[in-house]
């Protein structure tokens, strides 16, 4: 049985003053619930300080993307080793905003996930369909295909996390129905079983897309949903902790 992971994604939000929310979240998730982890992924500028503030707590801190290389001539980029050095234990890879804004293909995402593993941190590999792909009845095919192409070679089931994030649900207030989430998460679990065998049951599959305190209970109750990746509602400790309370 997979652990539950309640993960926040601050995206390009947050100044140092916002770190009071990290302290409040760290306090609210400590001591940890059994088999439930809490994580906030912050912009690189806030990582070291967020990790310092969370140090004595059960809150994990993560990055939002990483370069595939360890170091070198890549101005403006941050490597997985740098994230780890700054105190991250997770990194999001393949978020739809990165795929769209930076042309990150599934092949690149697989290399980023491999880079995270090389640095000793856990990649959260994001996949999801657009509204047009869902409307054309191709959501399952598209998303399972993305997953297969985005998995790093040679990884163990214990070392990765998957997030299903329908693109049309991110930041829109449009949440996928419980039935659609159930169908997609079952398909993703089967796809993972093809790759990892029985150990696929250990991989958390998160749902992301307008998860809020008032819909989190229903989404987290779906059989193959093992947590959430939460954007807007992770910026305020009260909202994030209200979702965490449902896990
Ligand atoms: C996200 O950024 O991954 C996300 C799911 O955002 P929101 O919760 O705001 O839809």
Give, using CA atoms, the residue closest to atom 7 of ligand 1. 231
Q: What pLDDT shows up at residue 82?
A: 98
Please indicate whether residue 9, judged by its CB atom, sits closer than 6 Å to ligand 1: yes
Query: What angle in degrees, to the nearest 10, is found between the helix axes of 178-196 and 213-220?
Result: 50
| pLDDT confidence bin for 144, thresholds 50/70/90 | very high
Catalytic residue IDs = 95, 165
201 burial (CB, 10 Å; 0-12 / 13-18 / 19+) is middle
Give the model's pLDDT for residue 162. Answer: 98
The per-residue pLDDT for 133 is: 98
Q: Ligand 1 center to residue 231 CA distance, Å?
A: 3
Mean pLDDT, residues 89-96 taken together: 98
Please tell me the predicted confidence (pLDDT) of residue 34: 97
Homologous superfamily of the 4-236 domain (CATH): Aldolase class I (3.20.20.70)
**Cis before residue 141, ω within 30 degrees of 0?**
no
Indicate if ligand 1 lies below 6 Å from the C-beta of 7: no
Q: Is 232 annotated as a binding residue?
A: yes
The Cβ-side half-sphere exposure at 198, using a 13 Å CA radius, reads 0
Residue 20: the pLDDT is 98
């Amino acid at each position: 049985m997979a652990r539950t992971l309640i993960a926040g994604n601050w995206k390009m939000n947050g100044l140092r003053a916002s770190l009071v929310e990290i302290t409040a979240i760290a306090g609210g998730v400590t001591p940890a619930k059994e088999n439930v982890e809490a994580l906030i992924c912050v912009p690189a500028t806030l990582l070291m300080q967020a990790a310092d503030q969370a140090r004595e707590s059960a809150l994990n801190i993560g990055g939002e993307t990483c370069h595939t290389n360890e170091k070198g001539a890549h101005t403006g980029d941050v490597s997985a080793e740098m994230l780890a050095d700054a105190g991250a234990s997770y990194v999001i890879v393949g978020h739809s905003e990165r795929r769209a804004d930076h042309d990150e293909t599934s092949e690149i995402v697989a290399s980023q996930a491999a880079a995270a593993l090389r640095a000793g941190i856990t990649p959260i590999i994001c996949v999801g369909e657009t509204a047009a792909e869902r409307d054309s009845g191709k959501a399952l095919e598209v998303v399972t295909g993305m997953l297969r192409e985005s998995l790093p070679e040679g990884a163990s089931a214990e070392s990765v996390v998957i997030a299903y994030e329908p693109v049309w649900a991110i930041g829109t207030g449009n949440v996928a129905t419980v039935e659609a989430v159930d169908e997609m998460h079952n398909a993703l679990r089967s796809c993972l079983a093809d790759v990892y065998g029985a150990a696929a049951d250990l991989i958390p599959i998160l749902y992301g897309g307008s998860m809020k305190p008032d819909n989190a209970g229903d989404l987290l109750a779906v059989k193959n949903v093992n947590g959430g990746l939460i954007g807007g509602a992770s910026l305020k400790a009260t909202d994030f902790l209200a979702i965490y309370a449902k896990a």
